[in-house]
């Protein structure tokens, strides 16, 4: 019993707030890392598309190599992601525009692909239900925020990526999409 009391006392002491050095008190954490930022990122431009596999709408394995020869806009999204769901209708509208790149909505949901297909149907979104249940694409791209959208050129190389939701039918997206080649 004494051992338990002694251990409890030591744990309580270890959890006490210790005073910081005088020169550290009151100084802002100016050098704190900020993490991924929303918006446009060109830092990966020229990088080849990852060779990871995912499921096509028929449930068969595929990869971005299948799309080489034409520009493709890959949108990483999930059914549980409110900003993702918000932008899906604009991606759907973009997919119908003449001259638009191929739009691939690549679900990062871990469940059954039929649930992703049903979700899109319920929302009246005509985009095909590609799925990456292992989140291999998110990992390969280092994408920690959904939605993340990446534009690949017809050569299979990244042009830019956009983190966060965007109106893909708006003027900002139109200017970005002019870079598809």
User: Sorting pLDDT into bands at 50, 70 and 90, what band is 38?
Assistant: confident
Average pLDDT over residues 9-20: 33
Question: Are 51 and 63 a contacting pair, CB within 8 Å?
Answer: yes
**Secondary element (H or E) of residue 49:** none
Cβ neighbors of 51 (< 8 A, separation 6 or more) are 63, 64, 65
Q: What is the dihedral of CA 35, 40, 46, 50, to 10 degrees?
A: 60
Quickly count: other Cβ atoms within 10 Å of residue 150's Cβ: 26
**pTM recorded for the entire structure:** 0.79
Tell me the torsion sign for CA atoms 156, 157, 163, 169: negative
Residue with tokens 């799925």: 131
Quickly count: other Cβ atoms within 10 Å of residue 140's Cβ: 14
Q: Tens of pLDDT along 133-168?
A: 999 999 999 999 999 999 999 999 999 999 999 999
As a whole number of angstroms, the distance between CA 84 and CA 72 comes to 18
As a whole number of angstroms, the distance between CA 61 and CA 77 comes to 18
Residue 33 has pLDDT above 80, yes or no: no
% pLDDT > 70, the chain? 80
Among left, alpha and beta (phi > 0; psi -120 to 50; other), residue 128 is: beta
Average pLDDT over residues 53-59: 96
Q: Tens of pLDDT along 94-125?
A: 999 999 999 999 999 998 999 999 999 999 99
Measured CA angle at 115 (ends 112, 116), to 5 deg: 100
């Amino acid at each position: 019993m004494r051992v338990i009391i002694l251990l409890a006392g030591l744990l309580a002491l270890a959890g006490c707030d210790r005073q910081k050095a005088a020169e550290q008190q009151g100084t802002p954490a100016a050098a704190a890392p900020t993490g991924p930022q929303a918006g446009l990122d060109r830092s990966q431009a020229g990088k080849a598309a990852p060779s990871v596999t995912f499921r096509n709408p028929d449930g068969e394995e595929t990869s971005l190599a299948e799309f080489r020869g034409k520009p493709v806009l890959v949108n990483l999204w999930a059914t549980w992601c409110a900003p993702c769901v918000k932008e899906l209708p604009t991606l759907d509208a973009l997919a119908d525009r003449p001259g638009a790149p191929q739009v691939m909505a690549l679900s990062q949901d871990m469940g059954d692909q039929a649930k992703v297909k049903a979700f899109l149907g319920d929302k009246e979104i005509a985009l095909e239900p590609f799925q990456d249940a292992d989140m291999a694409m998110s990992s390969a791209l280092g994408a920690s925020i959904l939605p993340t959208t990446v534009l690949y050129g017809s050569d299979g190389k990244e042009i830019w990526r956009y983190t966060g939701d965007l109106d893909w039918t708006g003027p900002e997206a139109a200017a970005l999409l002019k870079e598809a080649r």
